Each structure stands twice: as C-alpha cells, then as structure tokens.
Structure 1
Amino acid sequence: MTMRFMDGGGVMGAMLRAHPWTATPLGASAQWPAQLKTLVGVMLNAPQPMFVVWGPGQCMLYNDTYAEILGGHHPALGQPFLEVWYEIRDDVEPIMARAYAGEPIYMDDIELMMQRHGHAEETHFSFFYAPVRGDHGEVLGVFCACNEITREVLAKREHAAELDRLRDMFALSPSFVAVLRGPEHRFDLTNAAYLKLIGHRDVIGLPVRAALPELEGQGFHELLDRVYRSGEAHSGRAVSVKLIPQVGAEPQERMLDFVYQPMRGADGRVNGIFVEGVDVTEVFIQAQDLRESDEKFRSFSRLAPNHMWTSRANGHLDWFNDQTLRYSGVDIEALVGDGWARLLHPDDVARAASTWSTALHSGANYEMEFRIRRADGVYRWHLVRALPVRNARGDIVRWVGTNTDIEDQHADRDQLREINATLERRADERTRERERMWSSSPDLIAMIDPQGIFLDVNPGWTSALGWDREQIVGKRIDGFIHSEDQVNAQDALARATVGVLPTFECRVLHADGSHRIVAWTAAPDERAIFAFGRDITADRERALALAMAEEQLRQAQKMEAIGQLTGGIAHDFNNMLASIYGSIQLMQRKLAAGGQDGFEKLLDRASASAQRAAALTQRLLAFARRQALETRRVDVCALIDSLEDLMTRTLGPRIALQVRRAEDQWPARIDSAQLENALINLVINARDAMPAGGQLTIEVSNHRFDSPHAASQAELAPGEYVTVSVCDNGAGMSSTVIKRAFEPFYTTKPIGQGTGLGLSMVYGFVKQAGGHARIHSELGRGTTITLFLPRDVSQDGAETAPAAPRAPKDGAHAGGSILVVEDEASVREVIITVLADLGYVYAEASDAEVALALLDSRAHFDLLISDVGLPGMNGRQLAEIAIGKRPGLKVLFVTGYVDQAVAQNGLLGNNMQMITKPFVIDDLAHRIRAMLRGETVSPAS
C-alpha cells in the first residue's frame, strides 16, 4: 500500500516506496513514527541535499540530491550511517554522537577525505544536524540538511595561492608595486620597493591623500581620479615627483617610470588601480636617453621588466611570465619542467643545473649568473635568483624566481678586470722606475721608522754627504742632524707619522765634519716614513749673496734719491733765497740813494719767493708726515670732477679714464689740497704701469666699520669712511713689492726715473688725517690703491672754506694785552711789530723762564703767543703753567712744524689755537683778533 508521506521525491521517492523496510530495524513504513514520516515527506520534496538517520541502528534515508553526494556509496537506504561512510567514520562519528545526545550542530565548512568514486578525494561540506525527539523528549534520530562546497573551497584556495604567488612576485620584483582600492584610492597592497620609495611609511588602509600628503599639488591625485573614472590606463616616463624619503625630512625629487592600470570587478566596473613602476632617478641622471620599454606598462605579468618564473617544490618549473616568453621566442610548453635548460649556453648548463639541485636539497636561496639565449640566438648574461616559498610548517611548497639581464654589467666587469690588469702592469713599471730612481737619484732618500731610526738610504747619501749605507742604517737621525735643528726635525717626523706631509730644512752632517743645508719633504707609508732631501747649501749661499747685492743696490738707490732730493731742495731754496736776498739788497741800495721807487715790485717779488719757500717746506713736511693739515668738509666727487681734465691730459690718449660714484656719497674731513696731490700722484703711477695703454677707474664709495675686529683688520678705528679707489689694469705688483711700496726711497723704476717718495707721501698724508691706504695687486692683472678718508659728520651742507682773514685798520686799538714768547729774535720782532701796528698792549720774552716771571707779575694778559720749540721748557709746558696761574688765559702757538698731527692729538686744549711758520701777517692779525673775541676758527692755518 502506497504511503502518502512518500509521494513524489523522484528516483529516491520511488526507491523508498519500493524498499523492503520490514527487513530493516525500521520495520514497516506504515508503522513509522509520525516524526519520521513528516521528515521523510519534507526531505523527498526538498531540492537541497538532506538525509535522516533513525533509530539506534542509525539507518539512513536520503533524497535525490544527497544520492549525488554519496557517489559510489549509493544506494544505501536503510544501511547504518557510519558503515556507509566508513572512510570518514573517524570524522563524523563524534558529530553524530553529539547529535544523538540532543545537541544541534552546525558547521559551515568541514573537510572530509572521501572515497566515493573509487579514490580518495578532498571534499568540503556545510551542514546542520538537528536531533529529532519523541513524545517524551527522547532522541529518536537525526535530521541533516547539507551542501557540498568542495568546488568553492578549492577555488578560494587556488585564488589565495594565486594571490600568494603574486605577492611573492611583487616582493621579488625590482619594480615598486601597489594596489589601490575604491574611489578614495586606499592602499591595499605594497611591495618592499614601494615602501622604500615612500620612506617605509605605514600606508595600508589609508587613502593616498592622507598617506602621501606631499603629492598634493603635483597632479597625481587628479590623475588617479581620472584613471578610476575613465577606466583607461595611464603610463608616465621619467616623471618628476617629490616624495618624503623619511619622517621629518624635506621632500626630495625622484624620477619615475610608472603605470596606473584600472582593475575591474566581476561586474566589469573599475574597483581599484594597479600601480607599478621603476625609480629611474639615477638612470635618468646618468643617461637620459636610455630607452624604456613600453611593455612594462601593461598588465602585471607583462609589466614586470624581469623574467619571472615559479617552480614546484621538486624543481619542476611550471610558470613563466610574458617577458620570459618574449625574450626566448618560445611558448611556455617548451620551457616547463626541464625545458628551460635548452635556453642556457652549453658551457653553463652543468653548472646551473648543479647549483639548482643543491638549492633544492638544502632549501637555500638560489643565485648565480649564466647566459640565456635570446630569440635572435644571442646569448646574454643574466643574474638568476630564486627564493623558496614555505607553508606554515616551514616546508617548501614552491619556488619563485627572476632573471635579470646583466650583460652590460658583465661587460663592465670584464673591462674593469682589463683595467685592473693594466693598472697592475703600470704599478710594476712604476715600481721598477722607483727602484731606478732610488739607486740613481743624486738627491737624498731615506726610509725612517716612527722612532727616528734609519731603515734604508739610497746611494745619494754617499755621493752628497760621503756616508756609506752601512754607516747610517740602524742609527737614529739625531746623530746626523745639527743640534740646533733637531727639535724641528723631530717635530716634522711626528707630523709625518700622523699623516701630515711636512716640508722643512735642517743642517745635516757631512762625512768630512761639515754641515750641509738640506731641504726635506716627508710622506708616511704603511711601514715607514719616506724622506726626500736636496742639498741646497750652494743655493742658500747664492741667495745670500744676491740678497746682499740687492740691499747694497737699494742703499745706493736710496742715497741716489736722497742726493737728488737734497740737491733739488738746495737748488730750489737757493733760487728763492737769491730772489729774497736780491730784492732786499736792491731796496737797501735805493734807500742809500735816498729813493724808494720800485719798492712795491721788489717787496712783491720777495713775498712771492717767501711763499714758494713756505710751500716747499710744506711738501717736505708731507714727506716727513709732519705737516699741519688744513682739514675741512670736502665733497670728494666734486674735487675729482675738478681734476678730471688734468687727469685726462696726464694719462694721454691711450688710457681711458672712468669715474664711478656711490649714491648719497658722504663728505670727507680732509685737506683738499693734499688729497689733490695724492690723486695726481696715484694717476701718474697708474699711467707709468700701463705703457701700452689701458683702463683707469676711480671709484668713490662709503664704508662703515662697526666692529673693532673688522676695523683692526683694515688698520682703522671703528667708524665711517669715504673710500677712493684708483684701479688700473697694468703690470701689477708682486707680494714683495706690495709689502715695501709705502717705504720712503723704495722704487722699482730704473735709477734716475723715480725717487721712491710718491707713495710714501700719499701714505703719510692719509695716515696723518686719521685714515689708511691699502694696496691690492696681482702681477699682470693690475693694481688697486684704496684711500680710506674719515667721513665728515658735521651738519650737512656745502663745502666751506675758511673765512677770509681781516686785519684791523691801521692805528685802530683792538683792545687787549698780549704776552709774546719766542726764542728767535727776528720772528719775535715781527710779531710785536704786528701787535704794535694793531694797537695791542704787549710784553715780550725770549724763553719760558722770563715769561713765567712776567706771568707772576701784576701785569694783565688776555692772550699768550708762544713758540712750541722753546729752549728748556717747551711752549706746551709753559702754556699749562700759565693757565694754571691765570685761568681763562687764551694761548696761540706759533711753530714751524707739527709733530704727528699734534693739532689733533694732545697739543691743543680749550682756548688754544695754532699758526704755522711762515705765516701771512694778515692771517696772524685775524687769528689774534678772533681769539680775543672768542670766535672759533680753523685750528691750524
């Protein structure tokens, strides 16, 4: 009788209905419990694999889809479950026992090794075991709904293995590789080369903008967005990018070849970007024209620039990338297994195979070089590396390898070996040359240990000093060095020991007992110090004789210059005295004859001669640096402009003159007449240095020395200066000439063409004014002489000249009592005559002693006029005592010279003035009147 709960069910429904259940522990199906009937009805009509295990005997009932899972174990209706699945009994018996104990059990993946098709196979299932209870809660059986997921599990495993293989290839790849996911371009994968490129920063999971902020503004974010949106790959060659090489560092520019390759999901949409590239910075710098292959900008397997391959654990090669296939020109079937050996150079096969076999047995990394045939038949050297891939237990499961073309490097090594061989040959030749030099050199060569003991000497010691080798080797250097030179010799030895290369001279003992002067150089070696000496005794004697001859010549030139100078001075003074004396004699004759006709002309002639004599003494004082300077505010640029025509005529047509001025040029405090003379002197010297013509530049500028150190380097006091530089492009001076250029009587011109006084007078004038002169010159490149003139810091305004002196009218009583102290009677007489003519009351004294007696008297004095160079007590000392006796007394010094700018350096105090001899009577009158009135005038006139 057909049971309704067994209706349907396909093949298994029919088999259930026809099965002799009475012969089983389940008995007649009509007597089955309601729970079993219900489960059978559900199972037969369900599309999912299901089975029921019932009763203590665990009899099986199942549907059509589960019959497919049983495979060769079908049919198994009514059979015990554990006997049907005998091969997996150890795996499922504990699970079934737990279910019969009332525990529902779910597993999403259980791995079982089944033999349902006559052989062992790995299978995977997800299932749910539900205990079926009776009316009293007892477990009657187990209901199971399951799915076989073997195919999915194995597919995932293969996918994971493929990912592992790709990661291994990434790690081995010399290219940098990264995988970015999603529209934010989050890092999903990076290899070691990429991490090195970005400074080993932890970027996994971060968007590119957050991980690499320095890319902002360089266009890469926008480029990634465009590739992601369009789905179109982008490649770049030698693209500049600024990356931070390590945390805290500044971005550095690198040059990259790279490709952005869009990655698509199962739906065909872009879900990420594959980034691959090479840092070509060094290659780009060394050779920008290196060709980069476009092939490395395709898919990953085609992008890799190297040959890449994998092998099973036993060494059976089973995969090659496209680059390998393109290089070899054969398909992959020809290379798998041991086929790769066909590409090797015949001379390299045995060595490569042996090394590969050793790596397979030892598990060590595989690395060697051999030649691989290219598709065109050319063999090229490659560096071949392979790493073992191990599982969690440490067993080698695969090998991943790369081949890198090193043909060029190999050729370089061959070339380097050839170069080394050449260098060795040259070294041998130089060694032989050194041996020849050692034996044949007339100079002294010695090997000395750090303790100063001779290890060896060359034959030059015998020829130069008369010592045999045996008399020197093993002895200390002290025994051969003059006692006064031993400290220097020991110091040189010590410096040579630490790597300093000294040069020094010392006197070395000759075998005949004399000493010879030897110039030494020393150089350290690994074992000893090599000393090289040359006998310069004869050179020194010649140099000494030459120096003495030069000094004698210089003295002769100096005496010649002094003779010319004194002769010229005597001649000029004789002319002036002849004019003065002649005029006086003519006036005496006219007076004797009772007439005065022509007196005015004779007086003018005598006065002019006296003024010329005064000017001559001022020039002599300038040479001696003892003249009184008439310093005032001077516009240096205006002064040069006034001299420009004269300078141009002096230089002649073959020398171009250029004047450069600074903006806002400061005024100087200087004697304008002396500055004119100095500039003309420098211009004439420059002209003589450029006989073939050239360029002369006069440059005026401002200069400030704020620190004492800077000022001391320029030999000036800190302050502000106007600089005047006279630059020529003539013959120039040597360092020796520069050192002596300012010396009096020193000249490089032939005898009779120069006195050696010009630059000395310029230097003396500038130093006396509180400035400095400096020379910069190079032989053949010209000379620059710079004058540092003190800046005038008075109120800004036009250059001022002293007010014209005004004498009181004849017979006018100026008012005032004056004491005149002068040891020269004729000068004293002139002064008191002037005072008398001016109407002043005066007293006179020939020395300080008489003057002090007058000052101790009751006589009233408003002004003291005193010579500086009085016999005994000088004028300055007298003035101090006089002011002590009579506070407020004014003092006017009269002197024929000023000792080192005495007007500004201690002689003049408050209420003191000075006038130099010879003086103009009107100047003297003006000075006296101004001082008595309390007016301020130039301190030196």
Structure 2
Amino acid sequence: MMEKIWQRKTDETIGKPILEVFPELLDQKYPELLNDVLSKGITIRENESIAYIQQKEKLEKFYLDYQYTPLFEKNGTVNGIMITVYDVTNKVEARKKVEVAEQRTRLAIEIAEIATWDLDFLTDNIIYSENLPQIFGQEKGSVITRQKIKRQIHKDDLPVLKKAFGLALQTGIYKYECRIIKPDAEVCWIRVHGKLFFDENKNITKMLGTVLDITDEKNSHQTLMKSEEKFRLLADSMPQHIWTSDPLGNLNYFNKSVYKYTGLFIDDLKEQGWIQIVHPDDQKENINSWMEAVKTGNDFLFEHRFRRYDGEYRWQLSLAIAQKDEYGNIQMWVGTSTDIQDQKNFTDKLEREVSERTAQLELKNRDLINMNIELQSFAYISSHDLQEPLRKIQTFASRLSDLDEQNISAKAKTYLGRIEVSAKRMQTLIQDLLTYSRTNSAERVFVKANLDEIAEEVHSDFYERIEEKKLLSIFTL
C-alpha cells in the first residue's frame, strides 16, 4: 500500500486522519462507506471499484478489490476496521482492451457484412454468426452444417476447395473464392478466409474463418474486364497510337500500333521508357509539357517526332485528356498520337510556294511601277513633241485665213478653217492623253456628255471620206 498505491512514507501516514493524508478521497464514496462500517458494524466489499489517488502531480485511476471488516470489542462495539485491498488495475485494463478490441472487431464485421464461423473437426459442429445463413440464402436461425454448405458449392468450383484445403494443411491458412447456389437457384460468389489449428500430433482440431459475399465485386470486376477488353480491341484496331497512364503520368499501356510503328516490344518500353522513341531535340520540351499537364490536369497537346522502326523520324500530334471522378480527382490519362508528317510536308510546300509567288509578285510589281514611270515619261515627252508641230500648223493656217479674200478662194478658206479645228482638236486630245497618263482609277471623275456634240464631231472628222465615198450619212437620218 505504501509503495505502490499511496506512495507515502510511514511518518506521513501512521497516526493521522485518512482525509488529511488523502484529501482527494473527500469527494469519493470511501469516507461514507467507512462511516457505515463504524456506525452499523457491517462488512462492505466490492470488486473492481474505481478509486482516484494523488500520485506525485496528478490523480491516478485504480481498480481495487477491497473489503472493509469491522473490529468489535467484547461488548459488541466497533473499535476499528480491518481493510484488505487488491490492486487489479492491470488485469482490468487488459480485459477492457480485449473487450474494446472485440467490440471493434464485431463492429467492423457487421459493417463489412462478414460472417464468422468456428468449425470443430472432432465433432463437426459449427458455431457461426447470425448473418451466415443469410449469405447462403437460408432463413435466419437456420441450422447450418458443414455438409449442407458443401452441397451448395458450385460443382465446377469443388476442385478449388480441394486445392485450398491441401495448401492449408501446409501453411495453416485456408482461403479461396467460389460460387454458391442458393435455394432459389441464384448464383453468388463468396470469399472464404480461415486458419487451421493443430494438436501436438499435427492433427486438425478446429478451423476459424470468415465468409464474405463478393457477388457485386465480382460482377463489377467482370464488367470492368469486359469494358477493358472492348477498349483494347478498339484501340488495337485503330491506326493511331493509343496510350494510357496512371494519375502520376506513368505510361502503362500502348496499343499494337505503337509496337508496330517502333519495332519495339513491351519489355523494351518498360525498361527504357517511352521517351526513347521521341526525337532528342523534342525530349526536354516534351517532358516539361507532359509534367505540366499532369500537375494541372489540363489537356496535353504537343507536336513531336517519333522514331520509326527504320530509324526515320515522323511528326506526330499527341493529345491526352485526364479521366476524372465525380470529385475532380484524376483516375487515369488516355492519349492518342496521330501521324501528321504528310500535313507537315504539305504545309512546308505550300509555304514555299506562297513565298515564291510573293517574290514573283513583288518583282512584277516593281516592273509595273517602272513601266508606269516610263509610260508617264513617254506620254509627257510625246505630247510635248506632238504639240509643237500642231502649234505651227495652227499658226500658219491662221495666217492663211487672214489673207485677202481675193487671193484665196472660199473653198480654200473652208479647208483652212477645218485645218484649224482639227489641229485644235488634236491639241485637246494630246492634252487629255497627258492628263490620263497622270491619273489612276481612284482619281477618275466622270461627267455627263452630249451625244449630239460627239456625233457632230465624228461627222466633221469623216466629212471628206463620206463625200469621197458618196455615202449616205447617218447623221442626216
């Protein structure tokens, strides 16, 4: 008591009131119980009673088995109490830990819908949890025997049980998955996991285990397998390169097109990685772009060159999209790589042709500019040189018209007038030609013209030829 529970010295306890030594007992039940023993002379005992005792700087919890026994005088009065105490703290705490563990185990089993069983090989009796009959399609409370369960195992899966039991004899672990047929003919899947126990002669004494209905899991797995099989079949039938990766960006699948194009095998890509088929000049940027997509979850879009089985590099357009769950978490990446070498060649050829045509147009444009300059110069010079003879014709025609009418006939006078008019019109045409050569389409100004005046000018210009040919002038009609 002194060393383990009270942790006091003799001079700190002997001869002193208990509540003075242990004031922490004041708010507990023990002082009242002691008073009952003294006043009533009764014996009080209790097992695993909880007591809080001050040890050093904190209260410690103890589980105690105690007995308070009154000591009597000859006259029957109580003059003292004999107290016996057993410290059972370690035992109780150990038991409680086991109880908590068992409770957690039961709770976990109930949540996971796992059934448990205990088979005694000596008597062939089975002790099982309440939910075991439900897994086998039996009524709740039905009696389940080993032979009854065995009759429900699918006949095609009986070799699985035999193999599992043979292995259990060597390892002590009994586990298998098989199909069972319920009374209503429904076929379900179960997973059995157990452990064998042996006596000193290595004979089996009992087996403990669990049973879990995994029908939904199996159906989901089969659906997934069929979906994956369809995906691979579709991917292998496509000329494009198809590939997938895990959420961290590690490529884990390539369709047949990749192996056919590169001439590599699965082991080659696993050992040296996919980056080996990328052109050395494209590798660094390729890795950076791919890691950025994996980090952000954004689509991966990149043009790079892949090495073909014959060593030639061809341009590919790669696109990968993250497959996410309902919470936005990336589950996997699915990518494609499409050969765009022909498009690249066509684009390069088109760019070269455009460049060549542009150069030709620029050259033609310069030639046209030079020709326009020369034409303007020619028009200016020609009009200037043509106007000089006209001025002389006009001058001398005017002088001849000024002569005495006796020295010139009326007919000659008419001819001289016509010469002056024609020379003036010729001068106007030359000036108009010069003006036209200096304008462009944006500067053209259109004005209304009198067709009668134009017709009269034409008639005047061709008057002599009309008279010479004796033609009927359309202007007289």
Indicate whether the TM-score tops 0.5. Answer: no
**Normalised by the shorter chain, which TM-score bucket?**
0.3 to 0.5
Q: Relative contact order: is structure 1 or structure 2 higher (C-alpha 8 Å, sep ≥ 6)? A: 2
Q: TM-score normalized by structure 2?
A: 0.42
Higher helix share: 2
Q: TM-score normalized by structure 1?
A: 0.23
